[in-house]
Amino acid sequence: MKFGISYNTAFWGVDPDKIAAFARHAEGCGFESLFVPEHLGLYPGAAVGPYELPPTLPYADPLDLLGFVAAATERLMLGTGVLLLPYHHPVVLAKRLATVDVLSKGRMRLLTVGLGSLPGEAKAAGVDFASRGRRADEAIDVLRLLWGGGEDGVTHKGEFFAFDDLCQFPKPAGVTHLPIHVGGSSRAAARRAGRRGDGYFPGGMLDLEERAAQLDLARTAAVEAGRDPQALEYTRWGTGDMSAEQVAELDEQGVTRIVIGIAAGELEQQRDEMSAFAERFGLGSA
């Protein structure tokens, strides 16, 4: 089992010293990765399920934030949970992701993308909310096409994006393309993960039966697309106080990575919680 950790500036703020100290301590404790979320913008009444999001929450740009984290650490893998793919132009995004990967020496390897659930956010980004799934599918294809293209360039003509003989360098560090995990809590997300993703990272308050059905759906979709279903990584959320029994249960469900959320808001308490988790599961010590 791999263990990642999340950092949410919406709740813990954007103090660069605190972010750097948090990331360095997580790395010292032996956590594999650090994940950050994304919102481009909020508005009064914006809600995820039953939870209304105060419009002043300071969501930092995830890739700029991960570039900063990379500079403050040496080994910590970089992840998004999730990056709202339909709201990014894939030509620009491919360049940004490859740049972070090169400058971090190959650590931008846990990109997790989702569709977003706020219609007002889609409208502000100039994206038709109803077509964002198709837009995301095409964007994934464009990212991989650009990363894999050579000096002669690549051409794409799709529903949302088009270009001719386009070259884009630098390439990701030592790989043909960066892994793309798919986040979400719907069966459509599971199918997308199987057809196009390198991993599935479901969220939401789903029961065990629905989670099992979605994982099976992702693997079935992978087979139908001619892909190896066993190569699909399966990531789930966890908590800083979770027990060995809870981790074992997730392992039995096929989970390969757990990304934990820390309950404490102050840095010293966050460090204590990370250290206690690391000791409990033998990750190492800071």
Question: What is the structure's pLDDT at 49?
Answer: 86
CA-closest candidate to residue 113, choices 148, 88, 146, 147: 88
- pLDDT at residue 284 in the model: 76
Q: What is the pLDDT along the chain (286 residues), one digit of tens a residue?
A: 999 999 999 999 999 999 999 999 999 999 999 999 999 999 999 999 889 999 999 999 999 999 999 999 999 999 999 999 999 999 999 999 999 999 999 999 999 999 999 999 999 999 999 999 999 999 999 999 999 999 999 999 999 999 999 999 999 999 999 999 999 999 999 999 999 999 999 998 899 999 999 999 999 999 999 999 999 999 999 999 999 999 999 999 999 999 999 999 999 999 999 999 999 999 974 4
* Positions of E strands within the chain: 2-6, 33-36, 47-48, 51-52, 77-80, 83-84, 111-114, 154-157, 162-166, 180-184, 199-202, 233-239, 257-261
Q: Identify any residues that bridge with 162 across adjacent strands, giving them in sequence order.
A: 157
- CA distances in angstroms from 120 to 46, 53, 125, 137, listed in the order given: 8, 13, 9, 21
CA–CA distance, 38 with 51 (Å, rounded to integer): 16
Helices (H), 52-155: 62-72, 90-103, 119-124, 132-148
Cβ contact 178:109 at 8 Å? yes
Q: Which helix (H) or strand (E) holds 270?
A: helix 267-281
Distance of CA 55 to the CA centre of its chain: 22
Q: What is the 3-state secondary structure (H, E, C) of 81-92?
A: CCEEHHHCCHHH
Work out whether the CA dihedral 69, 20, 116, 193 comes out positive or negative: positive
Instruction: Specify the residue for token string 């846990």.
Output: 110
pTM of the model: 0.97
Structure tokens at 274: 């990370």
6 forms bridges with which residues in the sheet? Answer: 35
Residue 257 token pair: 């990575």
- Identity (one letter) of the amino acid at 283? L
Task: With H, G, I as helix, E, B as strand and everything else as coil, classify residue 244.
Answer: helix
Q: Taking a C-beta distance cutoff of 8 angstroms, is the pair 146, 154 a contact?
A: yes
The helix/strand/coil state of 126 is coil
